[in-house]
Amino acid sequence: MTTDKPNSGRGQRELRVRVKTAKGRKLSSTLWLERQLNDPYVQRAKKEGYRGRAAFKILELDDKFGFLKPGARVVDLGCAPGGWCQVAVTRVNALGDRKNKPQGTVLGVDLQEVEAISGAQIHQLDFLSEDADTLVKGWLGGKADVVMSDMAAASSGHKGTDHLRIIMLCEAAAQFAFDVLEEGGTFVAKVLAGGAELELQTTLKKNFTKVANVKPPASRADSSEKFVVAMGFRGRGHDEVSEADDPA
């Protein structure tokens, strides 16, 4: 592993770590490692104690839209490794350490076991199971104010197939949100740009007063991911399509 030497003269350019391809390691793995070592969000996550760089995506989305309010009840679908839960715990005051603010609740669910997070309830659960919504509302002690998802289906290596898979996953997460959200609640989810998300957008516009599509700064420029933020849940049975507010 080597680093570029700084330029002579005035100032220095930022040092960049370069990784040599080791024997038996694929070039793609080397490039991934090099990108990780030079990613400022990866470095910030380590410094600030987050479990991954994805934590900054939800931080930036909440900075823009303000849905993680003190006292809110939040469900994080597919919460592993836990970075989004960590952010939510602080923002909704789940630990109750801000005495002048209402205390919120953070509930994370995932297919796999997730290491405990202070201030959050973590459950191993398939949100697609028939009784998942009943279980979640029971754990929360009521309905949720926010349902959020950074889930992505396992990559097949085929861009079109991966796009369809993540849209289907996002549609399933939206249907789950309809079952557990309070009126006025918010749904946040990752999607991949690619054209198949039209039906999802139409469904969200029927059920929320505001739908925005955003690519936060923490999302890598070479990634096709974006995030849909749907606010003002109308409740089940609303068919009126609102005009989307899309700042992207």
Catalytic residues: 190
Q: Please, what sign has the CA dihedral across residues 128, 134, 135, 139? A: positive
Say whether 139 counts as a known binding-site residue.
no
Task: Give phi and psi for 220, each to the nearest 5.
Answer: -60, 140
CA distance linking residue 187 with residue 74, whole number of Å: 10
Say whether 150 counts as a known binding-site residue.
yes
CA neighbor of 148 nearest in space, from 84, 66, 215: 84
CA distance linking residue 140 with residue 133, whole number of Å: 11
Helices (H), the chain: 27-38, 40-48, 55-65, 83-91, 132-140, 159-180, 198-207
CA distance linking residue 216 with residue 17, whole number of Å: 25
Say whether 84 counts as a known binding-site residue.
yes
Give the C-alpha distances (Å, rounded to integers) separating 176 from 164, 190, 201, 205, 236.
18, 15, 16, 16, 12
Say whether 32 counts as a known binding-site residue.
no
Say whether 110 counts as a known binding-site residue.
yes
Indicate the annotated binding residues. Answer: 82, 84, 110, 126, 150
Indicate the annotated binding residues for S-adenosyl-L-methionine. Answer: 82, 84, 110, 126, 150
